[in-house]
Structure 1
Amino acid sequence: MAMKDLDALFSSLDPEYYNILMKYLYRGLSTGDRPTCDQCLRIHERLTERAGLGCILRSLADTTNTV
């Protein structure tokens, strides 16, 4: 996925779903598969730029909406 595609994805996504997307990124990182982790880290970086550091904290602290 190209970085310009990520910007289009984030702009079409409602900001309330950024936390859920972050949870799925952490789930992808937990696989340990190198290509998957590389892609997840690239998306994580862009999402953090877009949503801020609070997105990370909210996704880690949320116990009701697990993925």
Structure 2
Amino acid sequence: MLMFAEILLYISTGILIISSGLFLRYLLKTKKQRKLTKFEFTMYIVLQTAFILFGISFIITRFII
């Protein structure tokens, strides 16, 4: 049962990363066409920060530990 929970965790993490990446691409495209709304700009900053933090944590867990 624990293995099943881990598999679900990895699948959900993958889906979140893919969907966040697609939304970030959408925001970049929208940013080129017009000014972003306050909510879109906030999401843009949050997603960029999340990807940077995810990358740092991935590097730490895979290569250092």
TM-score band, normalised by shorter chain: 0.3 to 0.5
TM-score by length of 2: 0.44
Max Rg structure: 2
Report the TM-score when normalising by structure 1.
0.43
